[in-house]
Amino acid sequence: MVRFFRTLKRYVIVFEVVIDYGFEFLKEKLFGGTPAFISPQELRQVLEELGGSFLKFGQLASVRPDFFPEAYCKEFLGLLDEVPPIDPALLDGIFLKEYGKRPEEIFKKFERTPLASASFGQVHEAWLPEGEHVALKIQRPFAAEDFSSDARFFSFLGWAMRRSGIVKTVDPVQVVREFIHWTERELDYIHEAEHLERLREQVLKNKLPITIPKPFPEYTTKRVLVMEFLEGRTLKSFYLEHVPPPNPDKFFRDAIFFELYSYLFDGFFHADPHPANILVLSSGGVGFIDAGIALEIKVSDRKKMARFVEATSRNDLDAAVKTFLELVRTPLLEILNEAKLNYPQHWMRIQFTKNVFLRKLKGGLEDLLTRWHKASREDGPMHDKSPMHKFMELFNLAERSGIKMPAASVFFVRTFLSLDVTILELSPNFNIPEAVNEFFKIYEERFKVLENQEEEAPFYMAPGIHAEWQEILRDFDEEVKALDRELIRERMQGIMETFE
């Protein structure tokens, strides 16, 4: 019952905020006055009032100058770590619920003024009884409950987008489902402590010039994360000042190498590198914090992505087309290949259709790669120099070609988008394709190891699954594949009817 009333209250708050600002918008539209469009400051205020997931939207928008006007992006940057702090009167209650003690009873020293405050939590400085200098990430009261309510809204939005057919390159329901899944994990700080420890181990093992704060699991709870305090400034502060960090080429090269290495070779990577989550350390090095969103990528997906990224960085068009077709699912090619087997009398027409499709795909990729490499060499416009902007164009090309982009590529784009936009804003002459190409040259042997790595067994062969269940799940998987093949045959017959 308490949860029901909490959810109802959340919907009332959302409704009130939307109605209030909607009424103001309508009044200005009907009776004149100030321009009838919400200003960056007003829109930021709306998102702050709604909180939680809506703040997350603002955070994502802050690093998308290719989609949103610059004034809005700059205003939204404040949502990364300048959200109104938790009511000080509630702070002791959080600690009493998690530890049964006030913060001063747990820590040698606790600074009650937060260093930063973001969508789901805020950061405080403290010292452990043993003397270690630590940062505390404290979750806002009812953050998880509010997100649970918002998740229903986002689920409905994903369903509506799928039904309307507005988005075709990815399944919006699947994207929303993944967003909900990973945000729920982000709200569990025990998971984040595990992410930090795993990323830290990868950095130390591979001798990467990156610093990940050490977590203290013995002090960490689901709502309070205790980790090593890193001295430095967030990259966001440099972004707002339009000033690059010290030695920017090395700094950004190290950041790119870390994310590429983690994604492609380790298969576990920091998936939220926005400017407030990257530190410019006092030593000038790179620090990654806030690992609430860290993802695991299958070996098969990593191999395909590595081949494609390596081919595009070398500007090898033929290899880029080949590896792109390996990366994505292309139903049309499957249909045409099936048709060639079943209708050999129409092989010329089928081959012609296939050639038209491949020529269209190759032409789109050639244009995309040519503009990217040319802009990077000759200091062209930012949207042409940004590889992730090129990926967004690739998504559009895929939509026009009837291609479905896999979830792993969506994660790749989401992760590197905020990183490369920040890089190009602070260091416009930084050549990203050249840096990526250098990465593959340096780690050529590691790339070969990935190519020879054994791919994961089917999901139903995972350790711990009973043999009887393995057989049931194997049969189910075969049925799904059979339905896919049947659908391809139906579409193939439709194409063949146009040839008859």
Checking if the pLDDT of 205 tops 80, the result is yes
Amino acid at 325: L
Give SS3 for 269. Answer: strand
CA 57, CA 38: separation in Å to the nearest integer?
A: 16
Per-residue pLDDT at 28: 46
Checking if the pLDDT of 382 tops 90, the result is no
Give SS3 for 233. Answer: strand
Per-residue pLDDT at 365: 83
Checking if the pLDDT of 4 tops 80, the result is no
Tokens read off for 115: 């260093």
CA distances from 282 to 99, 199, 254, 295, 316 (A): 33, 21, 16, 28, 40
What pLDDT digit, counting tens, does each position of 33-65 carry? 444 456 777 777 777 666 666 666 666 666 555
What pLDDT digit, counting tens, does each position of 331-370 carry? 666 667 777 777 777 777 777 777 777 788 888 888 888 8
Asked if 112 contacts 197 with a C-beta cutoff of 8 angstroms, the reply is: no
Supply φ then ψ for residue 67, to 5 degrees: -110, -30
Residue 266: active-site member = no
Per-domain residue ranges of the chain? 2-79, 144-182, 296-456, 460-499
Query: Which residue do the tokens 């704060």 mark?
Result: 213
Average confidence (pLDDT) over 6-21? 48
Crossing angle of helices 189-206 and 172-186, rounded to 10°: 90
Per-residue pLDDT at 245: 94
**Burial status of residue 141 (CB atoms within 10 A of its CB: 0-12, 13-18, 19 or more):** middle
Residues in the chain: 500
CA 333, CA 236: separation in Å to the nearest integer?
A: 45
Q: What angle do CA 368, 370, 372 make, to 5 degrees?
A: 70
In whole angstroms, what separates CA 499 from the centre of its chain? 44
In whole angstroms, what separates CA 411 from the centre of its chain? 5
The residue from 266, 272, 301, 420 that is catalytic is 272
Determine if residue 274 is left, alpha or beta; phi over 0 gives left, psi from -120 to 50 gives alpha, anything else beta: beta
Neighbours of 16 (CB within 10 A): 12
What's the pTM? 0.75
Distance between terminal CA atoms of the chain?
64
